Structure 1
Amino acid sequence: MKNKDIQSYLMKTIPLDKLYVTGDNNHIKIVAIGKIFEGINNVQKQQIIYKPLTKYIIEKKIHAISIHTFTLKEWKKKNTTKQ
């Protein structure tokens, strides 16, 4: 499954503000940013992203994924401290 297809599918499925999908068929890295992650723990955040992708993982269209999730505030803080 191509990165742009994963990105398009997740953006249609989950109300996210930003989404970055990189990698290849062996390992996909997903960085998701959105208000949807406010007030929930890291496991719950990852489950939101993982759930719609489960069928593609089972069908072996996606081999492995790495999921990083952020609220808008967390994302802004992370990118401010890098500079």
Structure 2
Amino acid sequence: MHASEVKELLEAKIDGAQILVEGEGCDFTLTVVSEVFAGCLPVKRQQMVYTHLNEMIAAGTIHAVTMQTFTPEEWAARQG
């Protein structure tokens, strides 16, 4: 699986999200920025993303995912 495929999948599932994906094969690092994360704890944010990846994880298409999740405001603050 390619990073671009993971990016397209998540962009189609999480409205208005900015998705940055690094990696290839079955190991990926994700940065997901979306307004839907506002007011959610980090674990809930990750669950929201994993919901869209679980089928591929179960099938072995994706083996490892590392992710960071941000609201647009949090992301802007990080970019400084």
Larger Rg: 1
CA contact (8 A) 1:33 1:72 kept: yes
Once the two structures are superposed, the pairs formed by residues 7-26 of structure 1 within 5 Å of their partners are: 7-26=7-26
Q: Is there any run of 5+ residues in structure 2 with no aligned partner, and where?
A: none
Q: Is there any run of 5+ residues in structure 1 with no aligned partner, and where?
A: none
What whole-Å deviation, never above 9, does each CA across 1:3-60 have from its counterpart, x for those lacking one? 1111101110111331101012242000000100001100000111111100001111
- TM-score normalised by structure 2 residue count: 0.94
Distance, in Å, in 1 between the alignment partners of 2:27 and 2:73 is 27
Paired residue type of 2:69: T
Return structure 1 stretches of 4+ with deviation > 3 angstroms.
Answer: none
What root-mean-square deviation, in Å, do the aligned CA atoms of Structure 1 and Structure 2 show?
A: 1.0
Percent of residue pairs bearing the same amino acid type: 26
- TM-score normalised by structure 1 residue count: 0.90
Aligned residues: 80
Which position in structure 2 is the counterpart of 1:5?
Answer: 5
- Structure 2 residue 62 is the aligned partner of structure 1 residue 62: yes
Distance, in Å, in 1 between the alignment partners of 2:62 and 2:3 is 10
